Amino acid sequence: RIYPLMRVTLTTSDGASVTVSRQLTKHSGFIEKAITDMAVDDNAVPLSAVAVDVDDATLKLVIEWLTEHRDDALPYPEKTDEERRADDIPAWDQAFVQKWDTKEDQQQTLYAVITAADKLDIKGLLDMTCKTLANKINGKTVEEMREILQLECDFTEEELAEIRKENAWCEN
């Protein structure tokens, strides 16, 4: 049972404190488990602070996303293989990701949010960021993929030739 008015203080990895409603934290498996582990009485308000291994700036973004998704159904529905798709990101989420300023910052922020969503066990946010990253890759050339994902080619020419030969089993 979740008490909407109950608030939780989160302390970030860089020493900041943020107080949020249980309506938001109920979407985080990590925070909910931490609260359960405190074994507090339902009426014990305020709760002790929960330490999260996420920096303040990233946590603010996570809270912004949680605020928009506070009424999402729980538990987050598990997707079967056939239900998994990348073209169904809600418009608000698309705008949320796109507003991160420069190209470099966007990628950096996306990775930070992914890591935070993983640490805080927020399945809906992980799912959305996964689709966002997949959409960045799909349909791109090898060079574009390296640029987007900031990857350095560490193959020798011979190794590349061998992989191309294997890939040649598949033709459009």
In angstroms, what CA-CA distances link 71 with 87, 144, 154? 22, 38, 46
Site residues (CB under 8 A) for other proteins, limited to 18-57: 55, 57
Which of 36, 43, 102, 141 forms a contact with other proteins (CB under 8 A)?
141
According to the binding rule CB under 8 A, does residue 155 interact with other proteins? yes
Cα separation, 68 vs 170, whole angstroms: 43
User: CB under 8 A: which stretch of 18-26, 39-47, 91-99, 157-165 binds other proteins?
Assistant: 157-165
According to the binding rule CB under 8 A, does residue 15 interact with other proteins? no
| Interior/surface letters 128-164, b for 16+ CB within 10 angstroms, e for the rest | bbebbbeebeeeeeeeeeeeeeeeeeeeeeeeeeeee
Cα separation, 62 vs 112, whole angstroms: 10
Closest CB to other proteins among residues 35, 112: 112
Q: Which residues bind other proteins (CB under 8 A)?
A: 55, 57-58, 81-82, 84-86, 104-105, 107-109, 111-112, 114-115, 118, 126, 130-131, 133-134, 137-142, 145-146, 149-155, 160, 163-164, 166-167, 169-172
